[in-house]
A = this chain, B = another copy of it.
Amino acid sequence: MFRNFKMVPCVVFGRGSFNQLDDILAEKRKGSNSWLVFLVDDVFKESALRDRIPAKSSDLFLWVNVDDEPKTIYVDDLTNQVKAFTKGSMDRLPGGVIGIGGGSTMDLAKAVALMLKNPGSSADYQGWDLIENPAVYHVGVPTLSGTGGEVSRTTVLTGPEKKLGINSDYTVFDQLVLDPELLAGAPQDQRFYTGMDCYIHCVESLTGTYLNTFSQSYGEKALDLCREVFLDKGPDSDDKLMMASYFGGMSIAYSQVGACHALSYGLSFVLGLHHGIGNCIAFDHLEEFYPQGVAEFRKMMEKHDIRLPRNIVAGVESHKLEKMIDVSLILEPLWDNALGPDWKSIMTRDKIRELYQKM
C-alpha cells in the first residue's frame, strides 16, 4: 500500500514573486468570508518587507513570536484570537490564513488554519490522520529554507506531553509563494542550521529502509543542491536553497527521517532547542550511523565557520534526561526507517542515553 501523496496544488516561484501575493489572494476576498489572517514572524516588525505585505484594514494581522518552537498552547491562543475576530459566528471564518516566516511560522499558519475548522485543542491532534475537517485555505510564504515544511503534511508542535506533528492531508498548504529574495536577510548561522535540516533529512531518507525511486529522485537532487549551496556557494545560492528545501520536503513522501531527527526532538522538548540547531548537535554524534553524511556535514560547518554548542546535556537532571529518551522513543517510524524492524534491539534506552550524554 503506497501513500496517495497530497501535494501543494499551486506554486509560484521566482525572484520578486512576493509582489504577486495580493493578486493571488484577490480570489479569496470575494464572497462572505472576505477577510484574511496574516501570521508574520515578528523579526520583520522593523523590516522593509512589512510595508509590502498586502494586508487590508478588514484583515487580521498578527505578529507571531517564534523564539520558542511552536507550542500547542500558542496555536490554541492564536486560533482563539482569530475566532474572537469573527464575533462568534462560524460563518464569518476568514477566507484564508497566510503565514510569512521560517519553518515555525509555516507550522503556526498550518495549525491555525486546521484548528479554525476542528474543535478542541491542537494537542488533541498530534499524531497521524486525526484531523476530521479540511482546513481554511492557507498560504505559505517562506523566508528561511530547509525544513521542507512548505510542502509537508505535518505541522510540528510541542504539546504538554510530546513534540509531535499534526500529520494530515489537510495540513498541506493550498498555495506557496517561493521568492528567493526573501531569504536575503536571514542571519548566517540560522540560515546554516535551517539549511542543514534539509541536508540531514535527505541523508536520513536516502540511507533509510523506506525509500523508493520517487523519494530517491527528490532526495538526491536536494542533496546535490545543498552541496552547491554550502560547499560551492556559487551564484543563485538562495534560489537553490529554496529548491533544495522544496525537493527535500517532497522526498519525504515515500520515506522518513531517521535517527538524527528522533534524537533532535528529545533535545528540543527538554532543552527548548530549535529544530535546526538541535539536528546539527545530534548529527555531529551520529558518525556510526551516517559516516559519509557526517563527514560532509563537518566540511560544510568548517566552510561556514560554524561552532556548535558542546556539553549541553552534561548538566541535565536525570529525570529530564529520561524524558528526553521517552520523547525520542515515541518516534517509532523514524527508528524503523533508520535501523529496520529490529531497531529496538539496537536503539535501547541505554544506547540513546549514551548518545545524549556525548552531546
* Interface set of A (CB-CB < 8 Å, partner B): 1-14, 16-17, 20, 24, 175, 178, 180, 212-214, 217, 220-221, 225, 236, 239-240, 242-243, 247, 253-254
**Residue from the list B1, B17, B243 in contact with A217, Cβ < 8 A:** B243
A253, B246: Cα distance in complex, Å: 15
Q: How far is the CB of A228 from chain B (nearest CB, A)?
A: 10
A5, A175, A213: residue with the most chain B Cβ atoms closer than 10 Å: A213
- In the complex, the answer to whether A11 meets B17 with C-beta atoms within 8 Å is no
- In the complex, the answer to whether A7 meets B13 with C-beta atoms within 8 Å is no
**Residue from the list B11, B214, B221, B225 in contact with A4, Cβ < 8 A:** B11
- In the complex, the answer to whether B13 meets A214 with C-beta atoms within 8 Å is yes
- In the complex, the answer to whether B14 meets A212 with C-beta atoms within 8 Å is yes
Chain B residues with CB under 8 Å of A254's CB are 13-14
**Residue from the list B16, B24, B220 in contact with A221, Cβ < 8 A:** B220
- In the complex, the answer to whether A247 meets B217 with C-beta atoms within 8 Å is yes
Q: A5-B13, A254-B14 are in contact. Are A225 and B217 (CB under 8 A)?
A: yes
Q: How far is the CB of A178 from chain B (nearest CB, A)?
A: 8
- In the complex, the answer to whether B225 meets A239 with C-beta atoms within 8 Å is no
Q: How far is the CB of A356 from chain B (nearest CB, A)?
A: 36
- In the complex, the answer to whether A13 meets B9 with C-beta atoms within 8 Å is no
A205, B32: Cα distance in complex, Å: 43
A213, B242: Cα distance in complex, Å: 9
**Residue from the list B16, B213, B221 in contact with A240, Cβ < 8 A:** B213
22 contacting pairs across A/B (C-beta < 8 A):
A1-B20, A2-B13, A2-B14, A2-B17, A4-B20, A4-B175, A5-B10, A5-B11, A6-B10, A7-B7, A7-B10, A11-B214, A13-B213, A13-B214, A13-B253, A14-B212, A14-B214, A178-B214, A213-B236, A213-B242, A214-B243, A220-B221
Q: Please, which residue of chain B has its CB at the minimum distance from the CB of A216?
A: B243
Q: A221-B221, A240-B213, A243-B214 are in contact. Are A11 and B7 (CB under 8 A)?
A: yes
Q: How far is the CB of A113 from chain B (nearest CB, A)?
A: 17
Q: How far is the CB of A325 from chain B (nearest CB, A)?
A: 34
The 10 A-B residue pairs with the shortest CB-CB distance in the complex, in nearest-first order: A2-B14, A213-B239, A13-B214, A9-B9, A221-B221, A217-B243, A4-B12, A2-B17, A5-B11, A2-B12
Chain B residues with CB under 8 Å of A6's CB are 9-10
Q: How far is the CB of A25 from chain B (nearest CB, A)?
A: 11
Q: Please, which residue of chain B has its CB at the minimum distance from the CB of A169?
A: B10
A3, B175: Cα distance in complex, Å: 13
- In the complex, the answer to whether B17 meets A180 with C-beta atoms within 8 Å is no
A178, B217: Cα distance in complex, Å: 14
Chain B residues with CB under 8 Å of A4's CB are 10-12, 20, 24, 175
Q: Please, which residue of chain B has its CB at the minimum distance from the CB of A242?
A: B213
Chain B residues with CB under 8 Å of A236's CB are 213
